[in-house]
Structure 1
Amino acid sequence: MSEKPIPPAKAAALKYDGENAPTIVAKGSGELAKEIIAAAEANDVHIHNDPTLIEVLSRLELGDEIPENLYLAVAKIIAFAYFLQGKHPDYQKAPKTPDAELTLSLDAPESTKLD
């Protein structure tokens, strides 16, 4: 019985400026994916392993903003990366109105889940 070949590793790098949607700044498979991951490690950039998400991100072009249906998933990853760096939201600048309250759910709504 022959074994299935292992698919090449894939990686994508996102840039988030805090104002606009995150954009794809690097992506690749095989050796290029290894280089992207090595560059992230060398610069203490959080690496998140999510095969489903990388499949979607790898279909985008460099410079593309992530699609709206990925906002919640990527926001959770960015928030976790900020937490690991000791960063936190500046609640002093948030408007003090009921509309400024934020509730996070650990389960993504059906409309944001990836197939």
Structure 2
Amino acid sequence: MTALRACGVSELELDTPLRVELDGVAMAIVKDAAGDIHAIGDRCTHGDISLAEGFVEGDTLECWAHGSRFSLLSGKPLNLPAYEPVPVYVVEIDGDDVLIDPTVIKEV
């Protein structure tokens, strides 16, 4: 599969997750304070909660329900109660388009 348009760069607010669904795969897209754009699986592995409703701090996304923080770079949980990682997707930028292939998980 080729990368699909997830959103526009101009649609992303700093440190504010955006939930998108591409080909049935839910993900949270984040533009961090450094301006880097990340895409990770949208479901917290602890409580099946949308991570796009969480809080961004640096290069982490915190689940609002139970406080687990996930690395935007690796998808790994940084604290309990979550202990399983979420997938991280490769992000491509083409002009204002954020492109992601939901079938390709980033190797970390």
- State if a TM-score over 0.5 links the two structures: no
TM-score by length of 2: 0.26
Structure having the higher helix fraction is: 1
TM-score by length of 1: 0.25
Looking at CA atoms only, which structure, 1 or 2, has the larger radius of gyration? 1
Higher relative contact order (CA 8 A, sep 6+): 2
